[in-house]
Structure 1
Amino acid sequence: MSTPLVSAVVPAYDTDGTVARAVRSVAAQTYDPIELVVVDDCSPQPVADTLTDVDISIFAGVEVVRHEENQGASAARNTGIGAADGDLVAFLDDDDEWRPKKLEQQVARYRETDESVQAVYTGIEQVDATGETNAVSPAKHEGNLRKRLLFGNVVGSFSVLLAGADALAKTGPLDERFPSWQDWEYYVRLAEVTRFAAVPDPLVVRHNEGNQISRNYVTKAETSAPLFAEKYGPVAAEYGRLFHRRFRGHLAHELGYAALANGQCAAGRRHLLRAVALDPFQPGVYPHLLAALGGERVYEGARRLKRSLATSGES
């Protein structure tokens, strides 16, 4: 493919106008050609109405699909994949933005790899409600990520991913049962059909203000974690009993961190103590456990210190 068509799939449930900001960032890409596919997941105000001030004339094609009822982000992405005509597909959540060279650098990386690589992801910058950067995560893991992904989402949100349409077809649709960890679950399956390549630069801006579903401890504890264990526990067991035990320990760590982030220190302590019992050598668990043992004030202080050190290290 000399100049592949990229389908930009934007699942949208727009209540505050952020989808227009996301689409503008697609329109600002230095790469061409791009097909824009917006899936309106039955927003209170139709998304098409919020895009009237956005110049969409630069796109090779534009399609806005509206669900008649709200089905969730995974269903919206599945609809978008089905409507996409591009050789490559890139996702953008409606509250995120792409840096202008995001697709240009990803397609260049995609084209310089061999046929075993059909997924390229970038780094990501986290921005709070005041516009301040509170974290930067470079993309650094490459190759066969199947085992590594069983111990956490090392790729990131869907907004960082560009993948070949053939690889997405082989992977199958997103599992719409997951209210959270949708990206992590999908990447495990995607890693079964393709190797990954990385563009280290933070070419995605994630606005992490508000009550995002990724922070919701209850949905993870009651639905996402049990589903993930059911689907991928047998996969982890293929690598041996110790690996499976570490897999379970990591899930407990994930739940412990989610509980702390939602201010539920008692639940956090319970999950983190289980994580240590299952895998006492996993990185990062002890600072979280100490914070949980110290209570909410200690945890919040540790979070502020971590952010301060991360920001000072970037300058």
Structure 2
Amino acid sequence: MAETFAPINFAPIDFADVSVVMPAYNSAATITRALASIAAQTVKPREVIVVDDGSTDDTVERIRAMAGRMEGISLRAFAQANSGAGAARNRAVAAASGQWLAFLDADDEWLPTKLQRSLEVTRDGDLLMSSHNLFNVAPDGSESFNDSRARYLRDPRDPYRTLFLRGFISSSTVLVRRDLVVAVGGFDSGLRSAQDYELWLALLARIGPRFETFAEPLLRYTLAPEGITSRVDRKVACSLAILRRHMGVIKRLPGPVIGPVLLRGLIIHYEAVQGHRARGDWARALLQLLLCPLRLVEMLARLPFASGARPDFLTRLPPAEEVLPCAA
């Protein structure tokens, strides 16, 4: 059952009470564009917090160069040893002062009305979290429309189950209450893939239908070049770890349990087979087919003991140095 939260005051202000979270790793080629898209917002956030995750290029220098070009938005930057995007986002969440968090990856770009429309939709719907549609930008520069909203229209009353099975929420589209992110413990920094998917699940399990993906495409999302084979296996390992945790959550929610758990396991392996097939690695594709029934049996065996417990990852922050405290 969704929790009850106090209403939020959305009184008009010059700068919205929003902190933008931006992880960065070797992002020198794109981070100026990403930060400029924040500065160009029709409604501006209070602050942007960038965490450089052990870059070996001049990402930090590019951030410093933007310090005087943020149109009055406070810009802060931290540097830490390479610990992954989840740990970088957690560092920014811990340092954030805004009531709301918005996320933008260093290779993505917001359209100018993104923050204004996210705040309006969240206010009008009395939401605690929102996201929206986007444009995918391929490595060759071509763009295509990504209708991630369509998946949630099937059952808008239960976005958790939609996401659990095969939903999609791009991090760079999200606006969410900071206190909720803190309450669930932040991003699982132990996951090297899908940390954002797992956090959105944890949040939707708490807030129920007070979430919406709205139709306007207000993000240019950069698609990575074709990944190497080992990344498919890493995604499978992380997806299975998330399933093991969240089948404990789905037990506590109204509705079926065994069917969604088995279906999610099948989807994970189907996507892995397709990923290996696309790369011509038939041996690994066959291996995933053979492993699938064994892992489904494993999930059924684990199900009675799954608790859905989630550690507080915000207490496990790696050391970091603040390299740019600045109000532009």
TM-score class normalised by the smaller sequence: 0.7 to 0.9
Aligned with 1:197 (options 197, 203, 212): 212
Q: Does 1:119 align with 2:129?
A: yes
| Counterpart residue type for residue 232 of structure 1 | H
2:86 paired residue number: 74
2:110 paired residue number: 98
2: CA distance between counterparts of 1:87 and 1:118? 11
Q: Is the 8 A contact 1:246 1:278 kept in 2?
A: no
1:145 paired residue number: 159
Q: Is the 8 A contact 1:150 1:188 kept in 2?
A: yes
| Counterpart residue type for residue 20 of structure 1 | T
1:24 paired residue number: 36
Q: Is the 8 A contact 1:8 1:90 kept in 2?
A: yes
1:216 paired residue number: 231
1:182-261 to structure 2, matched below 5 A, reads 182-194=195-207, 195-210=210-225, 216-221=231-236, 223-236=237-250, 239-261=256-278
Deviations 1:248-295 (A, max 9, x none): 22222232233334443443355468879999xxxxxxxxxxxxxxxx
1:107 paired residue number: 119
1: CA distance between counterparts of 2:286 and 2:177? 41
Aligned with 2:172 (options 156, 159, 165): 159
| Counterpart residue type for residue 37 of structure 2 | S
Matched position secondary structure for 1:216 = helix
How many correspondences in the alignment? 274
Superposed CA RMSD in Å reads 2.8
2:186 paired residue number: 173
| Counterpart residue type for residue 215 of structure 2 | P
Per-residue deviation, 1:126: 0.9
Change (3 A) 1:277 1:137: farther
Q: Is the 8 A contact 1:138 1:201 kept in 2?
A: no
Stretch moving more, 255-264 or 73-82: 255-264
Change (3 A) 1:213 1:88: farther
Per-residue deviation, 1:137: 2.4
Per-residue deviation, 1:149: 1.7
Q: Is the 8 A contact 1:180 1:224 kept in 2?
A: yes
Change (3 A) 1:143 1:82: farther
| Counterpart residue type for residue 125 of structure 1 | F
Stretch moving more, 79-88 or 252-261: 252-261
2: CA distance between counterparts of 1:57 and 1:18? 16
Matched position secondary structure for 1:176 = coil
**Where does the alignment leave 5 or more consecutive residues of structure 1 unmatched?**
280-315
Q: Is the 8 A contact 1:216 1:258 kept in 2?
A: no
Stretch moving more, 241-250 or 181-190: 241-250
| Counterpart residue type for residue 201 of structure 2 | V
Q: Is the 8 A contact 2:28 2:58 kept in 1?
A: no
Per-residue deviation, 1:50: 0.9
Deviations 1:138-185 (A, max 9, x none): 424244312222102x23221111101122122211111111112211
- Normalized against structure 2, the TM-score is what? 0.75
Change (3 A) 1:64 1:177: same
Q: Which has the higher contact order (CA 8 A, sep 6+)?
A: 2
Q: Is the 8 A contact 2:274 2:285 kept in 1?
A: yes
1:44 paired residue number: 56
